[in-house]
Copies of this chain bind each other. A is one copy, B any other.
């Protein structure tokens, strides 16, 4: 019998690859996405397709409205930057940073893991392409894992450790794509754009589109 794992799924290239890796490692995947006031519902449609096609056992969508707090391009009305050179993309905190987003997402994943009695959580963070996001760094993930093991009764009672898996942490976008292709991921299912049109067409010019394009060129 395969072990359950919670996989955070955005509908983008990285999290789709992460889900495929969790499946390849033999986990029964319980995918978790968020409707969090982001401007593009098309992301969630992509997440649904990815969960289905890549063999997730279940897919839940948690509704949270971070607009209550304000303060980010992905949830408020700050324009998404376009056509930035690679050197700018990979340095500094991007305006598309959402305060404490991965902390919130991982916290829900942890709650779900406890309900499922699952000790494995997958998140497709990457420390190379997005060095500006503090909550994508390995030291943050380690600190979260430590906190998770201290703050949940099932881990304390069983003595087993909760493990936050970050299989993409040190891969380049090209390496992620090659890995995903080897596992049969169809990247046409995914969407990475920060600012797509209503029908899901990527803008082709935001940081995420530029990184994706560069990744496919190199892969």
Which A residues form the contact surface with B (CB < 8 A)? Answer: 60, 62-66, 68-71, 93, 97-104, 106-108, 110-112, 114-115, 132-135, 137, 139-140, 143-144, 146-148, 150-154, 156-157
Rounded to whole Å, the gap between the CB of A126 and the closest CB of chain B is: 15
- Known pairs A107-B107, A146-B146; list 8 more (Cβ under 8 Å): A60-B68, A63-B63, A64-B64, A66-B111, A93-B157, A104-B111, A133-B153, A144-B147
B146:A143 contact, CB within 8 angstroms: yes
Chain B residues with CB under 8 Å of A100's CB are: 107-108, 110-111, 114, 148, 151-152
B93/A153 in contact, CB under 8 A: yes
Q: Are A63 and B62 in contact (CB under 8 A)?
A: no
Could you tell me if B147 and A143 are in contact, using CB atoms closer than 8 angstroms? yes
Q: Determine if B157 and A150 form an interchain contact, defined as CB atoms under 8 angstroms apart.
A: no
A146, B154: Cα distance in complex, Å: 22
A166 smallest CB distance to B (angstroms): 14
Option from B63, B103, B114, B137 in Cβ contact (under 8 Å) with A71: B114
How far is B101's CA from A29's CA once the two chains are assembled, in angstroms?
Answer: 23
Q: B97 to A153, Cβ gap below 8 A?
A: yes
Are B65 and A151 in contact, CB atoms less than 8 angstroms apart? no
How far, in angstroms, from A99 to B132 measured CA to CA in the complex? Answer: 31
Given contacts A63-B63, A111-B104, A140 and B135 within 8 Å (CB-CB)? no
- Contact A111 to B103, CB < 8 A, known contacts A63-B63, A68-B62, A153-B93: yes
- Known contacts: A60-B68, A62-B68, A115-B71. The answer to whether A99 contacts B143 by CB under 8 A is no
Verify A64–B66 contact, CB threshold 8 A. no
A155 to chain B, nearest CB (A): 8
Specify the chain B residue showing the minimal Cβ separation from A157.
B93
Chain B residue at minimal CB-CB distance from A101? B111
